[in-house]
Chain A
Amino acid sequence: MNYLSDVGALARKDLRLELRSRDTFLSMVLFVVATLVVFSFSLPAGTAEEASYGLLWVALLFTAILGLTRAFAAEREQRLLDGLILAPCDRSAIWLGKAIAVLAFLALAEVVALPAFALFFEPVTWEVVAAVVLANLGLAAVGTLLAAMAAASRARELLLPLLLLPLAIPIVVGGVGASISDDPGRFLGFLGLYDLIFAILSWASFEYVVTE
């Protein structure tokens, strides 16, 4: 019960900070919409719909990286992670609270991105929506862990994509597969399995990332 109240307090704090600054959400929305607009002009006429779904997943992945780069900005700039890890709460609660906030920002950005995709490219099917939801869980889980690792580095803007992109390849494969396959259930199951494995790994390893 204490664990959940810690997670709730930490997630509320991040959402409150974002409501006041709107830095992360606005930049994510502007980026994903601008990317989709550029893609809509760059795809040759008559290109197969598969290509457009591929571009959607590329846009969503880079939007997530943009949000994750700022995930620990307040903690990094003001050394606040020291204050949080000194508290007697389970340190994985810090990861979970932050991951919930990242998940909320991703979901809000996609509420704008998916209709924009439907406007410029193809209709958004339920398979795409289900794949995006599952992909968000995986990206928030592993991305929050890696963002905490990168936050301690001077080359964080470079380090985060370098660490995250290889680990996000299964998400792109699963997402594109679920979007265009005749058997989306197989790919959705794959995404669900990815989420489960990486959520457990990230939850268990966060303490070692933030402590010396």
Chain B
Amino acid sequence: MIRARGLGRSFGTKRVLRDLDLDVGERDLLVVTGPNGSGKSTLLALCAGLLAPTAGELEVGVDRGRVGYLAHEPLVYRELTALENLELYGCLYRVPERRERIGMLLERFALWEARHERVSAFSRGMQQRLALCRTLLHDPDLLLLDEPYAGLDEAGAALLDAELGALAGERTLVVSTHEPERVAALATSRLALG
């Protein structure tokens, strides 16, 4: 699904990733660890197609529309409601039976009651749960999750544990995290950067 050879990425004179070889097969779960600034987020942004490599080769064997990307920012409009944000992304991603899918995700991540509230009124944890709904909305084949546990309380983290447990073995996942023990049992490979 993902193949990198000699992959490198620089920002100006700062080299964030260098000479990285990587193979992620279909239905694998790769855990990416490393200290701040080691290039975890850059690697995921490269895989998502948001950044271009400055060295080496990167092949991602899935269409743009089949990738689910969870970034540091929730990538939702703060002045729209949770429902309006998911409706917008559902339209752009051509999600079939959109309303049912949105309702199911909002229920699963305990946001149904808050669906008509603006995101600006959400706590950080609620924003992260909404971001997870956005990422999973189109049932992607490849999931790129950058610090998915960030901001989640224990209940939210448990919801995510259950979701990842259901997805592992069914979808390809790349999870960058400072809490690798949470996904250690599901991981098929591990990459330590930095």
Docked pose: A132 CA to B71 CA in angstroms: 42
- Tell whether B134 is near chain A: CB-to-CB under 8 Å: yes
Please provide the chain B residues from 60 to 80 with a CB less than 8 Å away from any CB of chain A in the complex.
63-65, 67, 69, 71, 73-80
- Tell whether B49 is near chain A: CB-to-CB under 8 Å: yes
- Tell whether B150 is near chain A: CB-to-CB under 8 Å: no
Q: In the complex the two chains form, is B91's CB within 8 Å of A82's CB?
A: no
Q: In the complex the two chains form, is B65's CB within 8 Å of A87's CB?
A: yes
Known: A79-B73, A88-B92. A212 touches B64 (CB 8 A): no
Docked pose: A6 CA to B90 CA in angstroms: 10
Residues of B within 8 A of A82 (CB): 50, 69, 71, 73, 75
A-B contact pairs, 11 of them (CB 8 A): A5-B91, A10-B88, A20-B118, A74-B78, A74-B79, A80-B75, A80-B76, A82-B73, A83-B134, A86-B50, A212-B51
Please provide the chain B residues from 76 to 111 with a CB less than 8 Å away from any CB of chain A in the complex.
76-80, 84, 87-89, 91-94
Interface on chain B toward A: helix, strand, loop, or mixed SS? Answer: loop
Residues of B within 8 A of A186 (CB): none
Docked pose: A109 CA to B88 CA in angstroms: 27
Residue of A17, A21, A78, A88 touching B75 (CB-CB under 8 A): A78
Residues of B within 8 A of A80 (CB): 73, 75-77
Residues of A within 8 A of B77 (CB): 13, 17, 74, 78, 80
Shortest CB–CB separation between residue A201 and chain B, in angstroms?
24
Shortest CB–CB separation between residue A91 and chain B, in angstroms?
10
Nearest-CB residue, chain B, relative to A12:
B88
Residue of A17, A79, A88 touching B71 (CB-CB under 8 A): A79
Nearest-CB residue, chain B, relative to A8:
B91
Docked pose: A16 CA to B79 CA in angstroms: 9
- Tell whether A84 is near chain B: CB-to-CB under 8 Å: yes
Residues of A within 8 A of B63 (CB): 88
- 8 closest Cβ contacts across the A-B interface? A88-B65, A83-B75, A87-B92, A9-B91, A212-B52, A79-B73, A89-B92, A20-B79
Docked pose: A84 CA to B65 CA in angstroms: 11
Residues of B within 8 A of A78 (CB): 73-78
Docked pose: A82 CA to B50 CA in angstroms: 7
